[in-house]
Amino acid sequence: MKAEKFPTEKQTVKKQGWKDIPEGGIITRAASAKMNKTGSWRAFRPVIDESKCINCAMCVLNCPDNAIPFRDGKRGPVNLDYCKGCGICASVCPVKCIKMEEETKFRK
């Protein structure tokens, strides 16, 4: 079985032949999920009203992609590389300070 060279995001367009991939579909690299930038799936973007946020971390805990960081008792900005725009954060926010806005608005 060959050691796998994990392709970069751009290289994934070029797909490998059956002789060059690890057997059994295993992934021979740690944390490879990081490469899958699920942010590209996003149709709605969470926009946080910082003035209302109470730092309760409900959005942090419920985010299925761990895309909202929390350090030293403070919530950080949403990591848009991985945020799929699912809206769970907006739904669980007890003070309703997160609004899901159409992604197209930001991509002009």
Partner 1 sequence: MAAKGKTVPLTGNYAIAEAMRQINPDVVAAYPITPQTSIVETFSKFANDGRVDTEIVRVESEHSAMSACVGASMAGARAMTATCSAGLALMYEIVGVASGLRCPIVMPVANRAISAPINIHCDHSDSMGARDLGWIQIYNETAQEAYENVFLALKLAEHPDIQLPVMVCEDGFITSHCVQNVRIYDDAVMKKFAGERKPIHSLLDLKEPISVGAIELQDYFFETKRQQQDAMEKVPKVYLEVAEELSKITGNKYGFFEEYKMKDAEAVIVTMSSAAGTTRAVVDKMRNEGKKVGLLKIRLFRPFPYEEVARALSKAKNVAVLDRSMSFGAHAPLYGEIRNALYEMEKKPGLQSYVFGLGGRDLLESHVRQAFNDMLTGKVSREKRYLGLREASE
Query: Site map for partner 1, 31-70, x if CB under 8 A?
Result: -x--------------------------------------
Q: Is 82 within 8 Å of 67 (Cβ atoms)? A: yes
Q: Is 93 within 8 Å of 58 (Cβ atoms)? A: yes
Q: Which of 5, 26, 55, 57 binds partner 1 (CB under 8 A)?
A: 26
Least Cα distance to 93 among 78, 104, 105, 80 occurs for 78
Cβ neighbourhood burial of 63 (10 Å; 0-12, 13-18, 19+): buried
**By CB under 8 A, which span of 24-32, 61-69, 75-83, 95-103 interacts with partner 1?**
24-32
Residue 23 in contact with partner 1, rule: CB under 8 A: yes
Which residues are near partner 1 by CB under 8 A? Answer: 1, 15-18, 21-30, 32
